Amino acid sequence: MELEFLGTGAGVPARQRNVTSVALKLLDERNEVWLFDVGEATQHQILKTTLKPRKVKKIFLTHLHGDHLFGLPGFLSSRSFQGGDEPLTIYGPKGTEEYVRTSLKISESHLTYPLNFVVLPEEGVLVDDATFRVECAKLDHRIASYGFRIVEKDHPGELQVEKLQADGVPAGPIYAKIKKGEVVTLADGRQIDGKDYIGHAQKGRIVTIIGDTRQCPPIARLAANADVLVHEGTFGKQEQKIARQYFHSTNINAAKVAKAAHVKRLLLTHISARYLGQAVRDLQNDARTIFKNTKVVSDLDTYDIPFHGRKE
Provide the annotated active-site residues. 67
- Which residue, among 122, 157, 137, has the nearest Cα to 211 in the 3D structure? 137
Residue 297, judged by CB atoms within 10 A of its CB (0-12, 13-18, 19+), counts as buried
Element containing residue 253 per DSSP (H, E): helix 251-261
DSSP letter at 275 equals: -
| CA angle centred on 143, ends 139 and 147, rounded to 5° | 30
Decide: helix, strand or coil at residue 125.
strand
The contacts of residue 235 (CB under 8 Å, 6+ apart) are 242, 243, 248, 249, 250, 251, 272
Distance spanning both ends of the chain, measured CA to CA? 11
Work out the number of other CB atoms within 10 angstroms of the CB of residue 55: 18
Element (H, E) at 88: strand 88-92
* Closest among 52, 39, 4 to 212, alpha carbons compared: 39
- Of 110, 45, 46, the C-alpha closest to 73 is 110
Q: How far from 16 is each of 41, 75, 277, 280, CA to CA, in Å?
A: 14, 21, 10, 11
